Amino acid sequence: MTGDKPSHDIDERNGASGSAGPLEIDTPVVADGPELYRITCDSAVLDVNSPYAYLLWCRDFAQTSAVARIDGAVVGFVTGYIRPDAPDTLVVWQVAVDASQRGGGVAGRLLGHLVDRVLPRGVRYLETTITADNAASINLFAALARKRAANVERSELFSADLFPDAHLGEDLYRIGPFAVAPAVAAGS
């Protein structure tokens, strides 16, 4: 990691108890990997990657991922990457929020922060895959599209028969185009 400070937003409207500090959203660092792994395991619904994979996400994809912290503790994250064959597209891999913070809008704030961060890089679309039974994720991404006045397209991407286990099929959700970031438009 370079010596650059991670970018972060502070949100005083944290939905946690009054004794907790404000919600801060910033880029992950390698030391956050174990917490991403823990939150994923604790979710009991997300596909759990190896602990090593979360370390790599925090190192190699920090600029296209985000973590939410309260009092320095990781309470949520979103991992993503720019598609190599579509540099205008951010793929969101996972979004997870610690059980203590669910229902407080943390996931939506994480997604909004990440989209704002990648817009200046020319990103105009977000893609993610969601199983048909995951209403919470479908609602999360639909809300993002509404807030950004963006279209949502859904199509089958990976049918269940492609998975070697009992995994459900994954539908592709493509959201966009997002409006050009003001800084980019002014510099054109």
**Please, what are the domains in the chain?**
8-187 (3.40.630.30)
* Model pTM score: 0.84
Q: What is the pLDDT of residues 80-108, one digit of tens each?
A: 999 999 999 999 999 999 999 988 999 99
pLDDT attached to residue 40: 95
Exposure string (b/e) for 145-181, b if CB count within 10 Å is 16 or more?
beebebeeeeeebeeeeeeeeeeeebbebbbbebeeb
Q: How far apart are CA 184 and CA 188, in angstroms?
A: 6
pLDDT attached to residue 181: 56
Q: Which two tokens stand for residue 144?
A: 């993002």
